[in-house]
Chain A
Amino acid sequence: MSAGTRTNKLTLRDPALVRWVLIGLALAFIGLVLFLPLILVFLEALRHGLGAYFAAVTEEDARSAILLTLEVAAISVPLNVAFGLAGAWAIAKFEFRGKSLLLTLVDLPFSVSPVISGLIYVLLYGAHGWFGPTLDAWGIKLIFNVAGLVLATIFVTFPFVARELIPLMQEQGTEEEEAAISLGANGWQTFRLVTLPNVAWGLLYGVLLCNARAMGEFGAVSVVSGHIRGQTNTMPLHVEILYNEYDFVGAFAVASLLALLALVTLAAKSFLEWRYGDRLSAGRAH
């Protein structure tokens, strides 16, 4: 190593004091804002022992809230994967009029408060809303039931998959697709064999984020749910009700399940990256 590069490295190195202060600040921040609350959720949930914890999460209303949350996520996540893939594919691989408008619309749910989006659904599809009477005449109810919850969740979680995929697809361009087509592949084969595998990791990440948000969404869901215990309460709504009724063990027990979901999501992502890391790097490098 020449003297020149050595000095360079030294100048890039901050004094020990600065380094430790910065690292300390970062750790303190993470501890106070992320780690401590997480620990507290579990501590509060287990305050009266495991028995009380299990009783709280297996109680009838809690069980129906858990099932409803899973049901809403199971419907809205696949739909948003389909919408997200289609939207990202169109935006990234094709040139058309109104493309930037579509891109803005994809981002809309991020910029609108979830409560407002919920209210708008009520105004549009509720019993006294614009389309309410018409829908009612057809025997269709979209508010204060599962359909409304799914609708609100889809709206709020719409950008996750598309936003994850658009930059990835744009970066990859269309050469591989052209190569596939020139080799005789049809549109579906090209999508399935070339486009999809190239974005598989981004898609997985988008699905995990989308799912986490779908299960955790509060604002929009709260407006369209109607808070009917045992019928239209999802887990976050159930947590709020229990908390407002001073049932802290019950509230934190259900909250701990949501926190666990977040941890499982993270673990799943790390495991997949570790397990298929070589394929990942083979796919990324060009």
Chain B
Amino acid sequence: MGLQAQGIVKTFGTFKALGGVDLDIQRGEFVALLGPSGSGKTTLLRILAGLDAQDEGHVLFNDEDMSGRKLRDRRVGFVFQHYALFKHMTVAENIGFGLRVRPSVERPTKADIKARVDELLRLVQLERLGDRYPSQLSGGQRQRVALARALAIEPSVLLLDEPFGALDAKVRKELRRWLRRLHESMQLTSIFVTHDQEEALELADKVVIMNQGLIEQVGTPEEVYHKPQTSFVYEFLGGANRVPCEIRGGVVRIGSTIIPAPQVVDLKDGPGTAYVRPEEISIGAPSGAGVPAIVQHVFRASPLPRVEVQLVDTSLALDVTLPPDEAGAILAKGQRVTVNFSKFDVLPG
């Protein structure tokens, strides 16, 4: 199902949670709403679901305005961050809830409900746990019950609020892959909220990056990662280093070092900011070309060695990730080096 948000504004007291958001989601897409806490992503999700009402703007399902429509008409499957399972009901009763509360003319028979619940229990791989109570399940199992419960009403769109937020790293990875397969096999339209960029980039077809109640950029994971359009996206995705610089006559000056930058030709002279990712920085001998720097820390307890260096001219600290073969072993704290940027982007200001 296609889903559109048009000019959504929402304020809580004096806080503007959403400042005019437009979003277009196609049928079958798997969309991530990505942003730091307070960016408005959960608010947007709740408004799409109909759990909260927007102050201005419209939500359209298949070109039909949903404003003022009841939640049950929207047929939205919503998975809550803390699952919100009914504590006093068994797993099976939880999953069947959406079917049991239908008006009597639409309600399936008891046998049909049971069959449907069994089918969903199989789908989420919890066949033998139908009689348990939520408190007797692990976090990952509760998450899957919440998902099965949302799927029971055959939702037109599945909305998930921080679906993996409360799980440990290993379970999170497994569940992520499983959810991706589920989305594809059931041909769902799914939107999930996350503050974890790895999760968003790995799982989604389309990533919506939000900041301070506005959308910064929408695109495929490749687009938002490799072609960030705003300074926020640069810093938020991939933890790019922010290097203040001077733009003058088509070249970039960092401290006293001049660096040629082809794309800068179009930019006006003045102060700018260069964004460079940790893996796009290389470290060379102090006598070589590049920006002079001093090694501050070397972290070797990670898949790729990480080095923190301080630029001599500006006393600015940069994070550098070294390729594994370029053994970080030879670097030591206090050592003088030069750094070179294999790729970077410059924005004015």
Asked whether any CB of chain B lies closer than 8 Å to the CB of A182, the reply is yes
Instruction: Give the B interface residue count (CB, 8 A).
Output: 27
Q: Which residues of A contact B85 (CB under 8 A)?
A: 176, 179
Quick one: which of A182, A185, A189, A194 has the most chain B CB within 10 A?
Answer: A182
Q: Cβ of A182 and Cβ of B76 under 8 Å apart?
A: yes
Complexed CA–CA distance, A114 and B33 (Å): 58
Asked whether any CB of chain B lies closer than 8 Å to the CB of A14, the reply is no
Nearest residue in A to B146 (C-beta to C-beta)? A179
Q: Cβ of A185 and Cβ of B88 under 8 Å apart?
A: no
Q: Cβ of B84 and Cβ of A178 under 8 Å apart?
A: yes
Q: Cβ of A183 and Cβ of B84 under 8 Å apart?
A: no
Q: Which residues of B contact A181 (CB under 8 A)?
A: 51, 71-72
Q: Which residues of A contact B301 (CB under 8 A)?
A: none
Asked whether any CB of chain B lies closer than 8 Å to the CB of A285, the reply is yes
Asked whether any CB of chain A lies closer than 8 Å to the CB of B160, the reply is no
Flag A167-199 by CB within 8 Å of B: 1 or 0 each: 000000001101111111110010001100110
Rounded to whole Å, the gap between the CB of A119 and the closest CB of chain B is 44
Q: Which residues of A contact B77 (CB under 8 A)?
A: 182
Instruction: Give the A interface residue count (CB, 8 A).
Output: 24
Q: Cβ of A282 and Cβ of B133 under 8 Å apart?
A: yes
**CB interface residues, B 79-130, toward A, < 8 Å:** 80, 82, 84-88, 97-98, 101-102
Asked whether any CB of chain A lies closer than 8 Å to the CB of B78, the reply is yes
Asked whether any CB of chain A lies closer than 8 Å to the CB of B307, the reply is no
Rounded to whole Å, the gap between the CB of B191 and the closest CB of chain A is 14
Asked whether any CB of chain B lies closer than 8 Å to the CB of A283, the reply is yes
Q: Cβ of A283 and Cβ of B88 under 8 Å apart?
A: yes
Asked whether any CB of chain A lies closer than 8 Å to the CB of B136, the reply is yes
Q: Cβ of B135 and Cβ of A194 under 8 Å apart?
A: no
Asked whether any CB of chain B lies closer than 8 Å to the CB of A286, the reply is yes
Q: Cβ of A194 and Cβ of B71 under 8 Å apart?
A: no
Rounded to whole Å, the gap between the CB of A153 and the closest CB of chain B is 32
Q: Cβ of B136 and Cβ of A184 under 8 Å apart?
A: no
Complexed CA–CA distance, A193 and B86 (Å): 9
Q: Which residues of A contact B98 (CB under 8 A)?
A: 183-185
Q: Cβ of B97 and Cβ of A185 under 8 Å apart?
A: yes
Q: With A175-B80, A181-B71, A183-B153 in contact, is A194–B102 under 8 Å at CB?
A: no
Nearest residue in A to B72 (C-beta to C-beta)? A184
Q: Which residues of B contact A97 (CB under 8 A)?
A: none
Asked whether any CB of chain B lies closer than 8 Å to the CB of A279, the reply is yes
**One of A184, A197, A279 near B153 (C-beta < 8 A):** A184
**One of B51, B88, B101, B152 near A282 (C-beta < 8 A):** B88
**CB interface residues, A 41-90, toward B, < 8 Å:** none
Q: Cβ of B88 and Cβ of A198 under 8 Å apart?
A: yes
Q: Cβ of B135 and Cβ of A282 under 8 Å apart?
A: yes
Complexed CA–CA distance, A283 and B88 (Å): 5
**One of B49, B84, B135, B136 near A176 (C-beta < 8 A):** B84
Chain A interface helix/strand/loop/mixed:
helix
Asked whether any CB of chain B lies closer than 8 Å to the CB of A281, the reply is yes
**One of A175, A180, A285 near B135 (C-beta < 8 A):** A285
Complexed CA–CA distance, A284 and B88 (Å): 9
Q: Which residues of B contact A186 (CB under 8 A)?
A: 72, 101
Q: Cβ of B76 and Cβ of A180 under 8 Å apart?
A: no
Q: Which residues of A contact B153 (CB under 8 A)?
A: 183-184
Rounded to whole Å, the gap between the CB of B99 and the closest CB of chain A is 9
Asked whether any CB of chain A lies closer than 8 Å to the CB of B149, the reply is yes
Q: Cβ of A286 and Cβ of B135 under 8 Å apart?
A: yes
Q: Which residues of B contact A279 (CB under 8 A)?
A: 88
Complexed CA–CA distance, A200 and B87 (Å): 12
Q: Which residues of A contact B84 (CB under 8 A)?
A: 175-176, 178-179
Complexed CA–CA distance, A214 and B102 (Å): 40
Complexed CA–CA distance, A88 and B222 (Å): 51
Q: Which residues of A contact B134 (CB under 8 A)?
A: 282
Q: Cβ of B87 and Cβ of A179 under 8 Å apart?
A: no
Q: Which residues of B contact A197 (CB under 8 A)?
A: 86, 88
**CB interface residues, B 47-81, toward A, < 8 Å:** 49-51, 71-72, 76-78, 80
Rounded to whole Å, the gap between the CB of B93 and the closest CB of chain A is 10
**One of B80, B87, B101 near A193 (C-beta < 8 A):** B101
Rounded to whole Å, the gap between the CB of B101 and the closest CB of chain A is 4
Q: Cβ of B80 and Cβ of A179 under 8 Å apart?
A: yes
Nearest residue in A to B93 (C-beta to C-beta)? A193
Flag A195-213 by CB within 8 Å of B: 1 or 0 each: 0011010000000000000
Task: Give the B-binding residues of A (Cβ under 8 A).
Answer: 175-176, 178-186, 189, 193-194, 197-198, 200, 279, 281-286
Task: Give the A-binding residues of B (Cβ under 8 A).
Answer: 49-51, 71-72, 76-78, 80, 82, 84-88, 97-98, 101-102, 133-136, 149-150, 152-153
12 A–B contact pairs at CB < 8 A?
A176-B87, A178-B78, A181-B51, A182-B76, A183-B97, A184-B72, A184-B101, A184-B153, A197-B86, A198-B88, A279-B88, A283-B88
3 nearest A-B pairs in the assembled complex, by CB-CB distance: A183-B98, A175-B84, A285-B135
